[in-house]
Amino acid sequence: MDHRGRFQAQGENVEKSENWAQMTVINKTSATALLVALEGQLTRRELEVRDIALQKARTFVMDAPASGYQGQVIKIFNNPGQRKAIRVDVEIRAGWAFANDEVPAT
């Protein structure tokens, strides 16, 4: 697959993720749906300590340039006041990610 990556919630004995691996660029709508799916895997407590981190990850996706981000990108987001290990990671492992929905896939 040319375009791949994942969203991951980690820390406090949590390691849950939503991955993508596809031939076309993942767009913002699809990426946001994966973040929602990740949220759905978390318990209420796991979500409470990552709610702001998840919002920051959504903002990172939505603020991407029209063509998206290219190459290996790893961003780590935390809730203020939480231990650094409790986090949400956005990982682009290869290709492009988070293009505007109307941008043709490469």
pTM over 0.85: yes
How many domains are contained in the chain? 1
User: Within a domain: residue 21?
Assistant: yes
Interval 61-74 mean pLDDT: 96
For the chain, give the mean pLDDT: 94
Residue 14 domain boundaries: 3-90
pLDDT classification of 84: cutoffs 50, 70, 90: confident
User: Within a domain: residue 96?
Assistant: no
Whether residue 95 is predicted with pLDDT greater than 90 in this model: the reply is yes
| Core vs surface per residue 43-63: b (16+ CB within 10 A) or e | eeebeebbebbbebbbebbee
Tell me: the pLDDT tens digits for 40-50? 999 999 999 99
The enclosing H or E element of 77 equals strand 73-77
d(CA 1, CA 44): 34
Query: What pLDDT, on a 0 to 100 scale, did the predictor assign at position 82?
Result: 82
User: Within a domain: residue 81?
Assistant: yes
Under 8 Å between Cβ of 77 and 90: yes
Whether residue 102 is predicted with pLDDT greater than 80 in this model: the reply is no
User: Within a domain: residue 102?
Assistant: no
Query: What pLDDT, on a 0 to 100 scale, did the predictor assign at position 59?
Result: 98
Rounded CA Rg of the chain: 13
User: Within a domain: residue 49?
Assistant: yes
